Chains A and B, each alone.
Chain A
Amino acid sequence: MSTRLSTHGRLIDRSQTIKFTFNGKWMRGHPGDTLASALLANDQMLVGRSFKYHRPRGIVASGAEEPNALVNMGKGPTFEPNQRATTTELFDGLTATSQNHWPSLEFDVGEINASLSRFLPAGFYYKTFMYPRAFWKHVYEPFIRQSAGLGQAPKDRDADTYEHFYAFTDILVIGGGVAGLQAAKAAADSGAKVLLVEQSSAWGGRAMVDQVDSETVNDTPVDKFVEEITAELAAMPNVTMRLRMMGAGVYDHGYVLAYERLNDHQPDADGPRHRLWRIRAKQTITATGAIERPLSFAGNDVPGVMLASAVRDYVVNFGVSPGDRTVIATNNDDAYLTAIILKKAGLDVPRIIDARPEGGGALMEEAKALGIRVDLGRAIAKVKGSRRVTKVQICNQAGEGGVLDEVACDAVAMSGGWSPVVHLWSHCGGKLLWDEGHAMFRPDGDNPPRGASGEGFVRCAGIANGAMDLAAVIADAHEAGKAAAKEAGFTPKRSKAPAATSRADAALLPVWLMPQGAKTELRAKSWLDFQNDVKVTDVQLAAREGFESVEHTKRYTTLGMATDQGKLSNINGLAILSDALGQPIPATGTTTFRPPYTPISMGAIAGEARGEVFQPIRRTPMHDWHDANGADWEPVGHWRRPYAFVRPGESVEAAVMREVTNTRESIGLLDASTLGKLIVKGPDAGRFLDMLYTNMMSTLKPGRCRYGLMCTENGFLTDDGVVARIDEDTFLCHTTTGGADRIHAHMEEWLQTEWWDWKVYVANVTEQYAQVAVVGPKARKLLEKLGGMDVSADELPFMGWADGTIGGFACRVYRISFSGELSFEIAVKASDGQAFWDALMEAGSEFGIQPYGTECLHIMRAEKGFIMIGDETDGTVIPQDLGLDWAISKKKEDYLGKRAQERSHMTDPNRWKLVGLETVDGSVLPDGAYAVGPGKNANGQRNMIGRVTSTYHSPTLGRGIAMGLVQHGPDRMGEVLEFPGTDGKTYKAKIVSPIFYDPEGEKQNV
C-alpha cells in the first residue's frame, strides 16, 4: 500500500492537518501536499480510467507530465475538469472526483473495451465507421460523440475572475531549479532586468530531491545553495521572481506567454484566479529541466508502476511512500537514487532490474552496499495485477520474455532515461539534435528561434540544454545567463560559475522495448501513451500500414494527442516507429511542439474580456434614455441602437408598425448619432472627394448637401452617405453607422500612401455630436415651436443645411431624408444630446411625437426604394447594379472603382439588378430567398435568377414589400417570379419599381 511516512516531507507542514474529499470520501493531508501526494498518503493509487479501454490508471508522475491523475475539481461555479492531481496544491475543503468511468471508479462498464482491445487497434475509427454511408449521421456520429472527450464540461458560469498583464523585461528565465536560479543570477549581475518564473510552488527543482544529500555547490549543500541564491536574487532590485507561474508558450519577436496560478491553492482569497502574462523579453532562457521516460514493458500501466523520479519525489518532498515493496527497473544510474532513498526510509526494495549487462557506477555500489539485490542485463517481462501491482516477472533484456523469476511487490519504479524539456525552445522554431550518448533530443544551439534582429532570442540552460550532471548544469546556466545579458545589450560581470560536484555515472543503455525481442502478447500490453491507450503494437501497426511520417502516426494512433501532449510518450513512440521503419531516431524526428506547454485555463486566455467587458459596447449620449423607454436593442457593429421602442404589453412587431405609422402621419424621433461624421478640409479636399465618391463633390455649393456613393478599387460599393459642404475648403462626410472608422481609415490610406502631396486633413468627429432626426409631416411645426432659427422651406430647402440654435441648443440642421418624409437631422454637442432629446420629446408631445428605432427606419427607407449598405450590397455589388447610375459622374476622368467598373464582368448585361418585389398575396417574402428560373445547372440544381435583399411588411401599404437583385430585372417589370422558401412553400412575387411610396418625393420636399 501507499502511505505517509513518519520521516521526510520537506514541503509539507505536519503540524497542520487539512481535509479534502475524493469521490465523496473524506481524506486528510497536510499543507504543502499536492492532491496526488495526499491521495497516495491515503492509499488511493487508483485515480482514473484510460480514455479508450477504460483501464485502471494510477499516479505515474509527480509533475506537469502526469498523464493519468486527471480529476474533476470543485463544484458548480468552480467546477473544472481535467485538473492534474500532481500539480494541484492541496487546500482545506478541496473536492475532487475521478473521470471517465461509469458507474464508479472501482467498477466500470467501459472496462469491457479492454478485453476487446484486440478489436480496437490503431485506426479503429477510420476503419470501422466508413460503411454504410447512411450510418454516418445517425449511428456513427452519435456513437463517436458519446465516447469522445475526457471529463465533463462545466455547466455553470465560472465564478472566478482572470486577467492579463503586459510585462517587458530584458531577460526572462523560465524554470526555478538550480539552472534557472544560476542563469538568473549571472544575467542579473550585468544590471539587466530579469524576470524569473517557476511553475511549482518552490525554488530549487529536482536538485532538492536528487542532489541534496550527496552533492555540493561551492562546497555548500545544494539546499543551502538554493536558499542563498534565492535570497540574493530576491534582494536585487532588477530581479522579479514569481512562483506558480509557468512559461506556456514562446512566440515571434520575443513574445512569451506565462500562466500564473494565483488562487488555485487558496480559493477563498480575493483577486483573480489566474493571470496570463504577455511578456516581451529581449532574451529568454529556458531552464525547464528534463522529464524522465517510462520503460515500455508489458503491464507498465498497472497502478503502482511509476516513474522512478516520482517515487523519490513523493518520499523526499511529501513523506509519502508509493509502495511498501518497490522493484526498480532501469537503464541508467538515476533510478538507483530511488532505491537508496527508499531503502534509507526503511522501505523494502526487493530488486533492482538493470537492463545494462555491466550495470551502473558509484550509485550501484552504494545500493548494493545497502543490501539491495541488483540483477544485470535483466528486464521486466510483465507486471502482474489489475487495480494494483502484485508482482513482476523477470526475464533477460536480450530475449523474448521467457520468465526467469518472479518478485512480489506493490510498486515498480521505472526509469528509461531523461528527455530535456525542449518544448519552449521548439515553439518558435528552435531546432534539435539527437544526443546518442544520452539517447535524447537536445537543443541545437546553432539553430535557435530567431527574432526581429535575425539573432536567436531563446537559449536553454542546464538539463534542458542537455547538461546532465550538477557541475555541468551550473556551468551551463552561468554561461547562458551571461550570454543572454550580452545579447540583450548589457556587459556581464567577469565571473566564473560556482564549482559544483559531479557524479560518476555509468553510461545509459537505450532501451525502447523491454525485453528487446518482446513477443506480440507482451508488446500488446506495453503502453506508450497511458491516457490515450496507445501501445507498442499500435505504433508498429501504423508503420506497417504506411504511416511513416511521425506526424501521421501520431494522428492515426492518437499517440501524444492526450492532454499531456505526449510528455511521457513521444520519444518512446518515435523510437518504436524508427525501429519499425528501420531508420535512426533523428531521421524520424519529433512531432511539432505547440504551445501551451501544459493546458491553461480558458479564463486566463479570455482575461478581463467577460461579462460587461466581453466586448466594447458603443453607446450614444441618449443610450440610457432609450434603455429606460423600452428599447429593444439591435447590435450594429459595436453600437447598440434601438430596434424599436416597445411599450408595455406590446409586441416588438406591433411597436415597429406603430412607429412607422406615427412617423408617416405625425412625427417621429430617431437617434442618428451613430452615423459617421468626417471633416475633410484643405485646398485639395474637393479633388480628393471627387476621387473617393462616384459622383462629383467638388461642385457642391457651401450650404448644400449631396448623397454620395463610395467604392473600393474593385469597383464594389463600400459605403454611402450625405456630404455637406461647410465652406470652400471644408466638407463634412456622413458615413454609415458601422462605417466611420473604416472610411476614416480608407481616406487616410489614400492620402498617406497614394496622394501624399495633396493638401487635405481629415478628422473623425462622429462622437462629437448627438444627431437626432426629426421626421414627419409635423416636424417643422415642432422646430418652429422650439424656435431659434428659420427652418422654412425657403430658408432651409431640401438638401440644404444651416447652423443656428433650436430651443436654445447650438446646432447644425441638415434637411435630408432617409424616410421620404419632411425631415431635419439636427446635430448638437454630444454632451447636450440628452437634454436636447428631452426638449424635443417634451415640446413634441402635443404633436404626438414618438421615438422610433432602426426597423422603422428600414421599413420607411424600403418603402422609398433607398438602398442600405449591407442589405442591398454584400461586397460584390456595384452602383450600376442598384440603378444608381445617376450618382456616377460621367464627367470625371477617374474615381476609385471607375476602372474596375469597366471590366467585362462588371459591364455584363446579365448582372443581377435592383428591382422591387411585391408578393402576389401580400405576404412577406423570406429574407435572402432566391428566385428560380427555368432549367438546371451542372449540379442538377434549379437555375437561380435573383435574390431578395430586403423584405418587410409595410404598414403604410398594408402588404409585404421587398427589394431584390434579379437578372435583367428592370426589363422584366410585371413578371411574377417564384421564390422557394426554406419552409417548403413557394412564394410568388411580381417585379415592380423599387419605389413603393411617394415616387415624386412630394412629402419630403415641402
Chain B
Amino acid sequence: MLMLECPYCGVTADETELSPGGEAHLTRFGPGASDDEFHDYLFMRENPKGVHFERWRHAYGCGKWFHAARATDTLEVFGTYPAQTTKPPQEILDKISAKRPGWTWRDLK
C-alpha cells in the first residue's frame, strides 16, 4: 500500500486517504477533433513497466489533485507535484534520469 506526499498540504498520506486518477498529462480533445484524436484521448493509455506519471487526489485530506512520478515495477516514487501543469518539473525528470538512464514515457526521455 503506497504512501505519497501531497505537494499541497505536505502530508505523507496513506493510500487509503487518496484516490487514483489514472494517467497524467492528457491533452483534452473536444468538438472539432478527429475521430482518431478523440479516440486516443479517451481510450489510449500508457501501460509501462517502469517510469509512469499518474494523477492522484488527496481525497480524504485537502482534496487537491496532484501528480506522482513513480516506477510501476519497484514502486519507487521519484516525486509528486501539483496538477496545474502540462509537463513534469525538470528536477523530477533529472532525478529519474539519474536513477533510470535511458527511460522513456510517451515523448519524455
Contacts and interface: CB of A to CB of B under 8 A. Distances in A.
Interface of A: 251-255, 280, 450-454, 713-714, 745, 748-749, 752-754, 756, 893-894, 898-900, 902-904
A452 B30 contact: no
A253 B70 CA distance: 12
Interface string B58-74: 01000111000001001
B99 A454 contact: yes
A899 B30 contact: yes
A451 B42 contact: no
Given A280-B14, A904-B35, 6 more contacts: A450-B74, A454-B71, A745-B19, A752-B83, A894-B31, A899-B30
B76 A713 contact: no
A771 to B, nearest CB: 24
B23 to A, nearest CB: 12
B31 A749 contact: no
Contacts of B30: 894, 898-899
B3 A452 contact: yes
B28 A252 contact: no
Interface of B: 1-3, 14, 19, 21, 28-33, 35, 38, 42, 55, 57, 59, 63-65, 71, 74-77, 83-84, 99
A1005 to B, nearest CB: 35
A724 to B, nearest CB: 24
B76 A453 contact: yes
4 closest A-B pairs by CB: A454-B76, A756-B84, A452-B77, A752-B65
Given A251-B1, A898-B31, A899-B31, A749 B21 contact: yes
Contacts of A894: 30-31
Q: Which of A251, A253, A451, A754 has the most CB of B within 10 A?
A: A253
A252 B74 CA distance: 9
6 contacts: A252-B75, A450-B76, A451-B76, A749-B21, A754-B28, A899-B29
Contacts of B99: 454
A312 to B, nearest CB: 41
B65 A748 contact: yes
A714 B42 contact: yes
Contact of A749 (B38, B57, B74): B57
B55 A753 contact: yes
A581 B31 CA distance: 62
Contacts of A454: 71, 74, 76, 99
Nearest to B19: A745
A893 B84 CA distance: 24
B82 to A, nearest CB: 9
Contact of A745 (B28, B33, B59, B76): B59
A902 B65 contact: no
Q: Which secondary structure characterizes the binding site on chain B? A: loop
A748 B8 CA distance: 15
Contacts of A451: 75-76
A255 B1 contact: yes
Nearest to A892: B31
Contacts, number: 70
Contacts of A713: 28, 42
A250 to B, nearest CB: 11
B1 A745 contact: no
Given A252-B1, A454-B74, A745-B57, A752 B84 contact: yes
Contacts of A453: 76-77
A714 B38 CA distance: 10
Contacts of B21: 749, 753
Nearest to B55: A753
B63 A748 contact: yes
Contacts of B2: 252-253, 452
Contacts of B38: 899-900, 903
A888 B107 CA distance: 37
Contacts of A255: 1, 3
Contacts of A756: 83-84
A73 B63 CA distance: 47
Contacts of A900: 38, 42
A389 to B, nearest CB: 48
Contacts of B33: 899
A329 B2 CA distance: 48
A451 B77 CA distance: 8
Contacts of A903: 35, 38
A753 B74 CA distance: 27
B75 A452 contact: yes
Contacts of A754: 28
A452 B76 contact: yes
A753 B31 contact: no
Nearest to A450: B74
A453 B95 CA distance: 12
A714 B29 CA distance: 12
A894 B31 CA distance: 6
A953 to B, nearest CB: 41
Contacts of A714: 42
Nearest to A251: B1
Nearest to A254: B3
B1 A753 contact: no
Contact of B3 (A253, A450, A753, A899): A253
A11 to B, nearest CB: 37
Contacts of A899: 29-33, 38
Nearest to B1: A255
Contacts of B76: 450-454
A902 B42 contact: no
Contacts of B59: 745
A453 B99 CA distance: 11
A752 B28 CA distance: 14
A894 B57 CA distance: 26
Contacts of A745: 19, 57, 59
A681 B27 CA distance: 26
Contacts of B3: 253-255, 280, 452
Contacts of A452: 2-3, 75-77
Contacts of B32: 899
Contacts of B42: 713-714, 900
Nearest to A756: B84
B65 A749 contact: yes
Nearest to B65: A752
Nearest to A749: B65
A251 B99 CA distance: 23
B57 to A, nearest CB: 7
A343 to B, nearest CB: 52
A253 B65 contact: no
Contacts of A252: 1-2, 75
A348 B58 CA distance: 68
Given A253-B2, A454-B99, A749-B65, A902 B31 contact: yes
A451 B75 CA distance: 7
B92 to A, nearest CB: 14
A814 to B, nearest CB: 28
A898 B84 CA distance: 24
Contacts of B29: 899
A713 B2 CA distance: 29
A454 B35 CA distance: 41
A254 B28 CA distance: 37
A746 to B, nearest CB: 11
Contacts of B28: 713, 754
Contacts of A253: 1-3, 75
A901 to B, nearest CB: 10
B65 A753 contact: yes
A453 B31 CA distance: 43
Contact of B83 (A251, A753, A902, A904): A753
A690 to B, nearest CB: 13
Nearest to A712: B42
A898 B57 CA distance: 26
Contacts of B55: 753
Nearest to A893: B31
A903 B42 CA distance: 12
A439 to B, nearest CB: 31
Contacts of B74: 450, 454
A821 to B, nearest CB: 39
